[in-house]
Amino acid sequence: MSHDPDGLSRGVKLLHDPLRNKGTAFSQAERNALGLRGLLPPRASDLPTQVARVLENTRRKPNDLERYLYLVALQDRNETLFYRVVVDHLEELMPILYTPTVGRACLEYGHIFRRPRGLFVSANDRGCVTEVLRNWPHEDVRIIVVTDGGRILGLGDLGVDGMGIPVGKLVLYTACAGIRPEQCLPITLDVGTESEARRCDPLYLGLQQKRLEGEAYDALLDEFVDAVREVFPDAVLQLEDFANRNAFRLLEKYRHQMPCFDDDIQGTGAVALAGVQAALRLTGGKLKEQTFVFLGAGEAGIGIAGMIVAGMRAEGLAEAEARRRCWLVDSKGLVVRERDDLADHKLPYAHDHPRLPDLRSAIEELRPTALIGASGAPQTFQQPILEAMARLNERPIVFALSNPTAKAECTAEQAIAWTGGRAIFASGSPFPPVEWEGRRIVPGQGNNAYVFPGVGLGAIACGARQVTDEMFFEAARSLAAEVHDEDLALGRVYPPFSRIREVSLSIAVAVAEVAWARGLARVERPADPAAYIRQQMYEPSYTSYV
């Protein structure tokens, strides 16, 4: 990760600088001037030729994990080429660099480790976190993604093995929204792990101890946030994959101290709301007329419910009535007020209603128009449940959003088949198109990558002092507006990822406009916000050094 800001790197040192290395693309003049002659094969390659070589090698790998390792190695030696490949082939490579393959990479992190990327702040660094952050070689950090590994995707507590998630998220910040790679910083807070298998694994790279809790945990988090504010004062902080017991309270604690958000809560909510708004163009009716049942009452479920409530309020519904249209089902059945085992974050959606033991009984009793899965429990949208949704609705909305693919509540094929081809389906991980009675249905992927890169770009561009729920609501509206009629005709309630940079720009403008309107921006509003933000977006191309 070394980088010479004065541009003095030469020879082998230059070839080992991923931000400046061009590999075989160095011209003969550059090779002569920079001490590279003889260190590279004699024939120079242009960037398109290098891209073709990378794609050929990627596609010949035997499986997606090997493809992931190959691409990460490329990122470590030549960031410009890496991002050129990813930007130009995002739909093909995103499932490799992020969900679902990144989940497999996290599970095997200590066994496939090649070289470090990002910062590791451990419980042993208490008292010197600022010094640890100052070891990062780049000063102008604008976006930080941090995890404590407590709840990685639907895979549970992976401890330091969860570092693949911040790294992967920041790849998407650059590829999808054009934030410069040197302005991105992935961080893992190693506070231990509750996974005995990891603590006993001789190849595990984290602290082999149980997790910090209580005051010791909070003190480390406080020191970390204070250090970020001191060392990287212009950075936006994204909280990622913290366990439910910490995620809500940490977001509430830090969101007023600096520009900070939790993608699992707010980003997931915005993406789901956008998908629902697009789906309503197929079903007819207004958001405030719908009834939602959520399987899963953690960060994602609560985040989605909160964003849908905001949408209903925008259509004139009172908050209490809007919440009454959102029902949660957890591992113990319907979330209702008479239960005495509810965590605080579930209480706003604990309604007066008799107890119901499971999802199927909740569907029959509440007759929802939309079923949203955010449970991490695979194959829970079973055939009788989806058949009931089809019996109750002409076009049932079914979102199986749990990641990775193996954790999805149902597959696209199941949702289509068990509803007679009538479900409007979206999932968190990608599923292939489904052929149904001569019709090709393309399932939408409700991936947070549609939202968080644009939110981060907008917050950075305007110098936002805070990242608010209103910004995510406007991001959802912008995303829904990017779904075209031809997308809906295919059954897809999200735009194709081939358009993601334009989608991110639209969201960034919406986010920045909220900051400017609410007095939360440190940068004065330009005459043309879209042009101003577009001009800041990184485009991977080589610089000439002679």
Which sequence positions are flagged as catalytic?
98, 169
Task: Give the integer Cα–Cα distance in Å for 289 and 321.
Answer: 11
Closest CA to 157 of 99, 97, 211: 211
Type of residue numbered 108: E
Is residue 77 within 8 Å of residue 25, measured between CB atoms?
no
Task: Give the integer Cα–Cα distance in Å for 136 and 192.
Answer: 23
Task: Give the integer Cα–Cα distance in Å for 233 and 445.
Answer: 34
Is residue 35 within 8 Å of residue 10, measured between CB atoms?
yes
Largest CA distance in the chain: 79
Is residue 454 within 8 Å of residue 503, measured between CB atoms?
yes
Residue 461, class by beta-carbon neighbours within 10 Å (0-12 exposed, 13-18 middle, 19+ buried)? buried
- How far CA 501 is from CA of 98, 177, 505, 506, in Å, comes to 17, 6, 6, 9
Mapping DSSP to helix (H, G, I), strand (E, B) and coil, where does residue 184 land? strand
Type of residue numbered 84: R
Residue 452, class by beta-carbon neighbours within 10 Å (0-12 exposed, 13-18 middle, 19+ buried)? buried
Q: Which run of H or of E encompasses 359? A: helix 359-366
